[in-house]
Chains A and B, each alone.
Chain A
């Protein structure tokens, strides 16, 4: 059997490449959405996955849900690789919560049908016991059972997101992939949903992969943070480590971009050049170098190695001692 410290979810060197056609008669070019991602999630961890749109976060979610297969590398759940045959088994253990509750609920179905769908697909219980389960989970996410006969269009954004959470949790999964679950909601509703997710994690001992571009939200909920840039994890750290001593220039820029409600501070200068690079033609060397404030010659030529740190790891020449030593010598 698995030892207790086997990570519940592990990605080993996962790479996903798409072929993209440019124009009608253009040549096909490979687009590397994920480039050698390795990550580990321990039971009841919350891993915040941060990065700008286009960095591969959503591709990662799809691979974890078993909706796409990685081009190379492995995804392991409880130490066992996931593959084609155990889709249903995987679905029972990993469930998603999506960003936009207006698009994640089928507008033609009643709330009861929506939440009961996982139970029906997996043939769990009979009609009556399913209804009971649906009622229970509605109660857990803080909705009254009279909404069962409602349709999504009759509910507010926050209520819909609660329904989406109920659907994800009705089969009692162990891992929940939260894909920006609050960014489409109003501020006051956002914190309600965040608090709910926090409570549910404690109550059901859930493990979250929490995808977001907002570090403030991640800090609120996560225990570990991984920063992604152009399909690579450039820094991984515990939350304390990340927010106390951020090392990677990109993580710093992300942190600086968060606008805390402190009047008088003005809008921060992130020093990021504006353009997010085209993933079809990634920059040479360190992918981040065109936008980096601390860029040096070596960054343009050589991709940085992954360095282990006290709390996690980092991919940056600035923190590679051998590289720095060489620079000092030269």
Chain B
């Protein structure tokens, strides 16, 4: 990593998320650390339930009232996100950091047009006339590769295909030229062809606008192709972080090693050796992974 040349845009130290449940506390995220520079791409990898989505929601301050994340440091630029007032957070969200969700159909409001939803972020954060906002919306729709952008503004989400909707989501996230984008499995619900296009689009736009990108995924193929660095989460803890090339060349932790073995590739051994993942609550005390990983059995 090229440290000390600039300050990280996002710093997280010892982020912990505990969820109170009827039967006890669920330690969903157990003390994770990472830094993110401007223009850098971090991929958080892990299986469903490993805490990666919770982490992103915590960063955006969208966890809801019942769940209180804790951290020694969670700074966006100079703003301490955990201490910030709801007002400060609102002014950050959408304007300087924005989020792209997995399922575009559920994250777009079905009863508003694409145009309304695109312009909303700009209008909320003020200082923009409807006309400018509209112009910007058209510009961004074109940028994300949507043809006939102007006529799309008056369409409703259900009139668009999955790939188009995801592009609209990306355009929406870009409206205020954020410095940080958090994308939670942005391509999992899409065809491979569309996935490649959307990812390429994200990478191009990132290079153009110099944004930092956190991409949450369970697909190591995606990680390899776009990440600068990788954080592997397992059962709420970061088990491995490092530059992408290093991780793929020699994963030191058995879990990412197992994951890499799992990818169906020509010429690779047939057997997948990762043990079955059985959820946090089944973890033995101490957070060991011995239960699941044949390497340690």
Chain A residues in the interface with B (C-beta under 8 A): 52-54, 156-158, 186-192, 194-195, 198, 213-217, 219-221, 243, 253-254, 256-270, 272, 274-276
CA of A54 to CA of B161 in the docked complex: distance in angstroms?
10
CA of A269 to CA of B198 in the docked complex: distance in angstroms?
10
Q: Is the CB of B163 within 8 A of A261?
A: no
B210 to chain A, nearest CB (A): 18
Q: Is the CB of B193 within 8 A of A257?
A: yes
CA of A217 to CA of B268 in the docked complex: distance in angstroms?
13
A-B pairs, top 6 by smallest CB distance, nearest first, are A259-B221, A220-B264, A191-B272, A188-B274, A191-B262, A261-B224
Q: Which residue of A has the minimal Cβ distance to B204?
A: A267
Asked, given contacts A186-B47, A264-B245, A274-B197, whether A258 binds B223 with beta carbons under 8 Å apart, the answer is: no
On chain B, the residues within 8 Å of A259 by CB distance are 192, 195-196, 199, 219, 221-222, 224-225
A95 to chain B, nearest CB (A): 23
Q: Is the CB of B225 within 8 A of A254?
A: no
CA of A53 to CA of B164 in the docked complex: distance in angstroms?
13
Cβ contact of B264, chosen from A217, A257, A270, cutoff 8 A: A217
B170 to chain A, nearest CB (A): 12
B18 to chain A, nearest CB (A): 23
Cβ contact of B193, chosen from A52, A195, A216, A219, cutoff 8 A: A52
Q: Is the CB of B245 within 8 A of A263?
A: yes
A191 to chain B, nearest CB (A): 4
Q: Which residue of B has the minimal Cβ distance to A55?
A: B191
Chain B residues in the interface with A (C-beta under 8 A): 47-48, 145-147, 161-164, 167, 191-197, 199-200, 203, 218-227, 244-245, 248, 258-266, 270-272, 274, 276-279
CA of A295 to CA of B114 in the docked complex: distance in angstroms?
32
On chain B, the residues within 8 Å of A156 by CB distance are 276-279
Cβ contact of B203, chosen from A53, A188, A258, A267, cutoff 8 A: A267
Q: From A189, A194, A243, A272, name the one whose CB has the most chain B CB atoms within 10 angstroms.
A: A189
Q: From B197, B271, B278, name the one whose CB has the most chain A CB atoms within 10 angstroms.
A: B197
Asked, given contacts A53-B162, A214-B192, A276-B161, whether A261 binds B203 with beta carbons under 8 Å apart, the answer is: no
- Tally the A-B contacts, defined by beta carbons under 8 Å: 140
Q: Is the CB of B224 within 8 A of A260?
A: yes
CA of A264 to CA of B244 in the docked complex: distance in angstroms?
9
Q: Which residue of B has the minimal Cβ distance to A192?
A: B272
CA of A293 to CA of B243 in the docked complex: distance in angstroms?
35
Q: Is the CB of A191 within 8 A of B162?
A: no
Asked, given contacts A188-B259, A263-B224, whether A215 binds B270 with beta carbons under 8 Å apart, the answer is: no
Cβ contact of B225, chosen from A158, A195, A267, cutoff 8 A: A267
Asked, given contacts A186-B277, A190-B262, whether A261 binds B223 with beta carbons under 8 Å apart, the answer is: yes
Asked, given contacts A188-B272, A259-B221, A260-B224, whether A266 binds B196 with beta carbons under 8 Å apart, the answer is: no
Q: Is the CB of B225 within 8 A of A265?
A: yes
Q: Is the CB of B147 within 8 A of A275?
A: yes
On chain B, the residues within 8 Å of A186 by CB distance are 47-48, 218, 277
On chain A, the residues within 8 Å of B200 by CB distance are 267-269
CA of A318 to CA of B145 in the docked complex: distance in angstroms?
28
Q: Is the CB of A253 within 8 A of B277?
A: no
Question: Could you give 21 example pairs across A and B, Cβ below 8 Å?
Answer: A54-B161, A156-B278, A187-B47, A187-B259, A187-B262, A188-B272, A191-B261, A192-B272, A194-B264, A195-B270, A216-B221, A220-B265, A259-B195, A261-B263, A261-B265, A267-B196, A267-B203, A267-B226, A272-B193, A274-B197, A276-B163
Q: From B197, B220, B264, name the one whose CB has the most chain A CB atoms within 10 angstroms.
A: B264
CA of A221 to CA of B266 in the docked complex: distance in angstroms?
10
On chain A, the residues within 8 Å of B199 by CB distance are 259, 267
A235 to chain B, nearest CB (A): 15
On chain B, the residues within 8 Å of A262 by CB distance are 224-225, 248
B146 to chain A, nearest CB (A): 8
Q: Is the CB of B192 within 8 A of A266?
A: no
B244 to chain A, nearest CB (A): 5
Asked, given contacts A261-B223, A274-B163, whether A253 binds B193 with beta carbons under 8 Å apart, the answer is: yes
On chain B, the residues within 8 Å of A266 by CB distance are 203, 225-226
Cβ contact of A158, chosen from B164, B191, B218, B276, cutoff 8 A: B276
Cβ contact of A215, chosen from B192, B218, B224, cutoff 8 A: B192
For the A-B complex with A188-B262, A192-B272, A261-B265 known, give 10 more contacts whose Cβ atoms are closer than 8 Å: A156-B277, A186-B218, A189-B277, A191-B262, A191-B274, A221-B264, A258-B192, A259-B225, A265-B225, A275-B161
CA of A290 to CA of B78 in the docked complex: distance in angstroms?
49
A270 to chain B, nearest CB (A): 5
Q: Which residue of B has the minimal Cβ distance to A256?
A: B196
CA of A113 to CA of B200 in the docked complex: distance in angstroms?
47
Q: Which residue of B has the minimal Cβ distance to A214?
A: B192
Q: Is the CB of A257 within 8 A of B195?
A: yes
On chain A, the residues within 8 Å of B162 by CB distance are 53
CA of A21 to CA of B205 in the docked complex: distance in angstroms?
39
CA of A101 to CA of B282 in the docked complex: distance in angstroms?
22
Q: Which residue of B has the minimal Cβ distance to A157?
A: B48
Q: Which residue of A has the minimal Cβ distance to B202?
A: A267
On chain A, the residues within 8 Å of B145 by CB distance are 274
A263 to chain B, nearest CB (A): 5
Cβ contact of A261, chosen from B191, B197, B248, cutoff 8 A: B248
Q: From A158, A186, A254, name the one whose CB has the most chain B CB atoms within 10 angstroms.
A: A186
Q: Is the CB of A261 within 8 A of B260?
A: yes
On chain A, the residues within 8 Å of B191 by CB distance are 52-53, 213
Q: Which residue of A has the minimal Cβ distance to B190?
A: A53
On chain B, the residues within 8 Å of A220 by CB distance are 264-265
B231 to chain A, nearest CB (A): 15
Q: Which residue of B has the minimal Cβ distance to A51?
A: B191
Cβ contact of A257, chosen from B164, B196, B223, B245, cutoff 8 A: B196
On chain B, the residues within 8 Å of A216 by CB distance are 221, 263-265
